[in-house]
Chains A and B, each alone.
Chain A
Amino acid sequence: MTVKVLFFAGLREALGTGSESLALPGGVATVGGLRDLLAARGEPWSALATTKNLRVALNQQMVGLDAPLKGGDEVAFFPPVTGG
């Protein structure tokens, strides 16, 4: 299955990209699994594993790392929000 992955703010800058489309290998079934897959690419992607209090949104709703994935999902990783 293929998912769209987005990155925002300091994480986007650290990774040097704001989005990518990714075909997931079998066995990656949750947003946490996707995070681990990306972080395993090495620098600078390990920022996904080291960002303090990393937040995840699945189809534009905040979720925990155990949220299940399906084809066509939009997954966003970002640091804690600082608006207002």
Chain B
Amino acid sequence: MTVSVQEADFDAGTEIAALSAGRDDVGAVASFVGLVRADKAAGASAGTDAVQAMTLEHYPGMTEKALQEIVTEAQGRWELQGVRVIHRVGRLLPGERIVFVAVASSHRGDAFAACEFIMDYLKTRAPFWKKEETPAGGRWVDARESDDSAAGRWATN
């Protein structure tokens, strides 16, 4: 299993160990864990928009396909021996894990690059949406241009 979309938490150590279990050709595993951050506003409005929780909505069916396509794209660009992607959905609290990406390869260069590529593409291509709960009410998170430019730097001509 390469891609999972689930409400349950995950154990990063277990997932990382599984990528090289029973084989001796893996030289590097690079991993990333994304967490819910309790953003706090500065100044007069401090506290009114602190994130108390967030809910992750997704498009069942398309989400899994989109993630698998991103993994397949990464496998075409780098020499990878294993990939694991987990994205949580549902209601999450600050400090909780949202997303996990780990990539196994012979050498660190490919592992680092592929891990970052998968996260950059996930953020702009996988159909997830975050809604934050704050003392002032709920608000959908706006997409950031910096995410588009992060994904754009991997474009091939």
Contacts and interface: CB of A to CB of B under 8 A. Distances in A.
Interface of A: 6, 8-10, 13, 53, 57, 60-62, 76, 78-84
Interface string B123-135: 1111111110000
Chain B interface secondary structure, helix, strand, loop or mixed? mixed
B143 A8 contact: no
Nearest to A78: B127
B143 to A, nearest CB: 3
A53 B143 CA distance: 10
A30 to B, nearest CB: 19
A8 B129 contact: yes
Contacts, number: 74
A61 B58 CA distance: 14
A83 B140 contact: no
Interface in B7-43: 34
B93 interface: no
A80 B131 CA distance: 13
B68 to A, nearest CB: 11
A9 B138 CA distance: 12
Given A57-B62, A60-B61, A60-B62, A80 B143 contact: yes
Interface string B117-157: 00100111111111100000000111100010000000000
B129 A81 contact: yes
A71 to B, nearest CB: 19
Given A9-B57, A60-B62, A84 B125 contact: no
